[in-house]
Amino acid sequence: MDSRGSILLRAAEIASVDGLEGVTIGRLAVELGMSKSGVFSHFGAKEELQLSTVHKAAEIFAREVVAAGGSLLDLSERWLDYSKRRVFPGGCFFVVTRSEFAARQGRVRDALVLFTLRWTSLLERLCGDAQMAFEVDALLTAADRFAVLYDDASAYERVRLALRARIAMPTGMERSVATPNDNSIASHASSTIWPPM
């Protein structure tokens, strides 16, 4: 791998743990045994480094998860394996960075949005339903965060079971969680203090 590739791989690894704001030219120089000017010469500015890191992570994600093709379940299995093997040490690079940049404006957020749109479009194409694509992405994201936060790999099997059940469920058979007029706990959540004092 060339020096630019090595820099971007390490940047993506760091970002999966500390976010893209944790990726600095100085930190990369120290960790890779390079001069700051050597790292800087590849990118010129922090935003360019961040954008290039997003693109590198997308290449890795495509190779690990998408490239082999297959069904929605095949893709989901590879996604869970990619997270479980810690291809990026902090779990899924995009789960971490989407949260970090969700409320920000700029080119880095735009790159993350574009990745997410492509990902959800692929999920939707495979399952033929936007709602199911949303749910699959949410379940995969939940598995990644639960497994990383609690260092508990059982989240992957829980999500596998949930995905199999959801994929087997005919479209339109989903149950509504809560409506404004029902008496469920969810409908009263806005009137309670959380966490309880």
Per residue in 1-31, pLDDT (tens digit) is 678 999 999 999 999 999 999 999 999 999 9
Residue 38: predicted pLDDT: 87
Among 21, 163, 158, 11, residue whose Cα is nearest residue 84: 158
Stretch 89-102: mean pLDDT, rounded? 96
- Residue 196: band (very low, low, confident or very high) from pLDDT cuts 50, 70, 90: very low
pLDDT over threshold 50, residue 179: no
pLDDT over threshold 60, residue 93: yes
Residue 181: predicted pLDDT: 44
Percent of the chain with pLDDT strictly greater than 90: 77
**pLDDT tens, residue by residue, 128-177:** 999 999 999 999 999 999 999 999 999 999 999 999 999 887 665 544 43
Stretch 21-46: mean pLDDT, rounded? 91
pTM, two decimal places? 0.83
User: Using N-to-C axis directions, what is the helix angle for 107-127 and 130-150, rounded to 10°?
Assistant: 120
CA 74/CA 49 separation, integer angstroms = 33
Residue 125: predicted pLDDT: 96
CA 78/CA 100 separation, integer angstroms = 24
CA 6/CA 187 separation, integer angstroms = 50
26: Cα separation from own chain's centroid: 26
Core vs surface per residue 85-113: b (16+ CB within 10 A) or e: eebbebbbbbbbbbebbeeeeeebbebbe
Mean pLDDT, all residues of the chain: 87
- Residue 193: band (very low, low, confident or very high) from pLDDT cuts 50, 70, 90: very low
Pull the structure tokens for residue 155.
Answer: 């989240």
Residue 171: predicted pLDDT: 61
Among 23, 100, 26, 78, residue whose Cα is nearest residue 56: 23
Core vs surface per residue 150-172: b (16+ CB within 10 A) or e: eeeeebbeebbeebeebbeeeee
pLDDT over threshold 50, residue 59: yes
- Decide: residue 189, CB within 10 A, 0-12 exposed, 13-18 middle, 19+ buried: exposed
Q: Which residue has the higher pLDDT, 43 or 54?
A: 54
Q: What is the DSSP letter of 22?
A: G
Longest dimension (CA), the chain: 63
Residue 17: predicted pLDDT: 97
CA 111/CA 107 separation, integer angstroms = 6
